[in-house]
Protein backbone atom coordinates (compact mmCIF):
# COMPACT_ATOMS: atom_id res chain seq x y z
CA UNK A 1 0.00 0.00 0.00
CA UNK A 2 2.84 2.37 0.76
CA UNK A 3 4.24 1.86 -2.76
CA UNK A 4 0.90 2.85 -4.27
CA UNK A 5 0.90 6.05 -2.24
CA UNK A 6 4.43 6.84 -3.44
CA UNK A 7 3.35 6.23 -7.04
CA UNK A 8 0.36 8.53 -6.55
CA UNK A 9 2.67 11.15 -5.08
CA UNK A 10 5.02 10.94 -8.10
CA UNK A 11 2.09 11.16 -10.51
CA UNK A 12 0.77 14.19 -8.66
CA UNK A 13 4.19 15.89 -8.70
CA UNK A 14 4.61 15.14 -12.42
CA UNK A 15 1.14 16.51 -13.19
CA UNK A 16 1.88 19.63 -11.18
CA UNK A 17 5.18 20.13 -13.03
CA UNK A 18 3.49 19.76 -16.44
CA UNK A 19 0.78 22.22 -15.35
CA UNK A 20 3.37 24.79 -14.35
CA UNK A 21 5.17 24.38 -17.67
CA UNK A 22 1.89 24.82 -19.53
CA UNK A 23 1.08 27.95 -17.50
CA UNK A 24 4.47 29.47 -18.32
CA UNK A 25 4.04 28.71 -22.00
CA UNK A 26 0.65 30.40 -22.02
CA UNK A 27 1.80 33.46 -20.09
CA UNK A 28 4.88 33.76 -22.32
CA UNK A 29 2.47 34.45 -25.18
CA UNK A 30 1.45 37.65 -23.41
CA UNK A 31 3.38 40.87 -23.82
CA UNK A 32 7.05 41.02 -22.94
CA UNK A 33 7.34 41.68 -19.23
CA UNK A 34 10.64 43.51 -19.11
CA UNK A 35 11.72 47.09 -18.61
CA UNK A 36 11.26 49.31 -21.66
CA UNK A 37 13.16 52.19 -23.25
CA UNK A 38 11.17 54.72 -25.26
CA UNK A 39 12.46 57.24 -27.76
CA UNK A 40 10.53 60.50 -28.14
CA UNK A 41 10.89 61.49 -31.79
CA UNK A 42 11.41 65.25 -32.18
CA UNK A 43 10.94 67.00 -35.54
CA UNK A 44 13.06 69.84 -37.03
CA UNK A 45 10.89 72.44 -35.24
CA UNK A 46 11.80 70.78 -31.93
CA UNK A 47 8.32 69.32 -31.32
CA UNK A 48 7.48 65.74 -30.30
CA UNK A 49 5.67 63.78 -33.00
CA UNK A 50 6.07 60.13 -32.01
CA UNK A 51 7.02 57.89 -29.09
CA UNK A 52 8.48 54.50 -29.98
CA UNK A 53 10.24 51.64 -28.32
CA UNK A 54 13.99 52.24 -28.53
CA UNK A 55 14.26 48.92 -30.38
CA UNK A 56 11.53 49.61 -32.93
CA UNK A 57 11.71 46.08 -34.32
CA UNK A 58 9.95 44.87 -31.17
CA UNK A 59 6.35 45.42 -30.18
CA UNK A 60 6.11 44.57 -26.52
CA UNK A 61 2.31 44.25 -26.74
CA UNK A 62 2.50 41.67 -29.55
CA UNK A 63 0.94 38.35 -28.72
CA UNK A 64 -1.14 39.73 -25.87
CA UNK A 65 -4.82 40.53 -25.62
CA UNK A 66 -3.78 44.19 -25.93
CA UNK A 67 -2.23 43.75 -29.38
CA UNK A 68 -5.16 45.21 -31.31
CA UNK A 69 -5.84 48.08 -28.94
CA UNK A 70 -2.34 49.00 -27.87
CA UNK A 71 0.30 47.36 -30.04
CA UNK A 72 1.21 48.29 -33.59
CA UNK A 73 -2.41 49.26 -34.19
CA UNK A 74 -2.50 51.55 -31.16
CA UNK A 75 -1.13 55.06 -30.76
CA UNK A 76 2.29 55.24 -29.12
CA UNK A 77 1.42 52.74 -26.46
CA UNK A 78 3.69 50.61 -24.30
CA UNK A 79 2.59 47.57 -22.29
CA UNK A 80 4.17 47.25 -18.85
CA UNK A 81 3.95 45.26 -15.67
CA UNK A 82 4.49 46.66 -12.21
CA UNK A 83 7.97 46.74 -10.67
CA UNK A 84 9.59 47.25 -14.10
CA UNK A 85 11.30 50.40 -15.33
CA UNK A 86 10.39 52.64 -18.21
CA UNK A 87 12.86 55.14 -19.63
CA UNK A 88 12.23 58.03 -22.04
CA UNK A 89 14.84 59.88 -24.11
CA UNK A 90 14.36 62.51 -26.82
CA UNK A 91 15.87 61.99 -30.26
CA UNK A 92 17.51 65.43 -30.22
CA UNK A 93 18.60 65.47 -26.56
CA UNK A 94 16.24 68.34 -25.71
CA UNK A 95 14.95 68.57 -22.12
CA UNK A 96 11.35 67.46 -21.69
CA UNK A 97 8.70 66.68 -19.11
CA UNK A 98 5.90 64.17 -18.76
CA UNK A 99 2.51 65.40 -17.57
CA UNK A 100 -0.10 62.88 -16.44
CA UNK A 101 -3.77 63.76 -16.36
CA UNK A 102 -4.71 62.25 -13.01
CA UNK A 103 -2.77 59.40 -11.48
CA UNK A 104 0.61 58.31 -12.77
CA UNK A 105 1.72 54.66 -12.60
CA UNK A 106 4.85 55.57 -10.62
CA UNK A 107 5.72 56.09 -7.00
CA UNK A 108 6.12 59.66 -5.79
CA UNK A 109 9.90 59.59 -6.10
CA UNK A 110 9.79 59.61 -9.90
CA UNK A 111 10.78 63.00 -11.30
CA UNK A 112 8.79 63.69 -14.45
CA UNK A 113 11.09 66.47 -15.68
CA UNK A 114 14.40 65.67 -17.35
CA UNK A 115 15.85 69.10 -16.41
CA UNK A 116 19.47 68.96 -17.61
CA UNK A 117 19.52 65.16 -17.99
CA UNK A 118 18.92 63.40 -21.29
CA UNK A 119 16.34 60.96 -19.98
CA UNK A 120 13.68 60.17 -17.40
CA UNK A 121 13.58 56.71 -15.80
CA UNK A 122 10.72 55.60 -13.56
CA UNK A 123 9.61 52.39 -11.89
CA UNK A 124 6.04 51.24 -12.50
CA UNK A 125 4.34 51.06 -9.13
CA UNK A 126 0.71 50.60 -10.06
CA UNK A 127 -1.94 47.99 -10.45
CA UNK A 128 -3.75 47.50 -13.76
CA UNK A 129 -4.69 50.63 -15.63
CA UNK A 130 -4.26 52.79 -18.71
CA UNK A 131 -2.39 56.04 -18.29
CA UNK A 132 -2.48 58.82 -20.86
CA UNK A 133 0.23 61.42 -20.51
CA UNK A 134 1.58 64.38 -22.41
CA UNK A 135 5.15 64.83 -23.58
CA UNK A 136 6.21 68.47 -23.48
CA UNK A 137 9.58 69.15 -25.12
CA UNK A 138 11.32 72.32 -23.92
CA UNK A 139 12.17 73.29 -27.51
CA UNK A 140 8.43 73.32 -28.35
CA UNK A 141 6.47 74.10 -25.16
CA UNK A 142 3.31 75.20 -27.00
CA UNK A 143 2.75 71.69 -28.39
CA UNK A 144 2.09 68.49 -26.43
CA UNK A 145 2.03 64.90 -27.57
CA UNK A 146 -0.15 62.27 -25.87
CA UNK A 147 0.99 58.63 -25.81
CA UNK A 148 -0.13 56.07 -23.22
CA UNK A 149 1.06 53.32 -20.91
CA UNK A 150 -0.98 50.18 -20.28
CA UNK A 151 -0.14 48.40 -17.03
CA UNK A 152 -1.18 44.80 -16.39
CA UNK A 153 -0.12 42.76 -13.41
Q: Are 89 and 96 a contacting pair, CB within 8 Å?
A: no
What's the mean pLDDT in 135-146? 90
Domain ranges of the chain: 1-30, 32-151
pTM of structure: 0.72
Task: Check residue 11 and give its pLDDT.
Answer: 47
Helix (H) or strand (E) holding 136: strand 129-137
Q: Are 84 and 33 a contacting pair, CB within 8 Å?
A: yes
pLDDT, one tens digit per residue, over 64-120 is 666 666 655 555 778 888 888 999 999 999 999 999 888 889 877 788 999 988 899
- Name residue 124's beta-bridge partners: 106
pLDDT, one tens digit per residue, over 7-52 is 554 544 444 443 433 333 333 345 667 788 899 999 999 999 988 8
Q: Are 32 and 58 a contacting pair, CB within 8 Å?
A: yes
A 10 A CB-CB count for 69 gives 13
Domain spanning 32-151 has what CATH number? 2.60.40
Amino acid sequence: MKRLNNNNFYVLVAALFVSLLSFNAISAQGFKKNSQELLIQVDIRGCAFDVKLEDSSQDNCEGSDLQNSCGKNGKDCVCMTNQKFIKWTTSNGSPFELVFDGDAPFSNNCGLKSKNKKSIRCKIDSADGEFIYEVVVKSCPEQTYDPRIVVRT
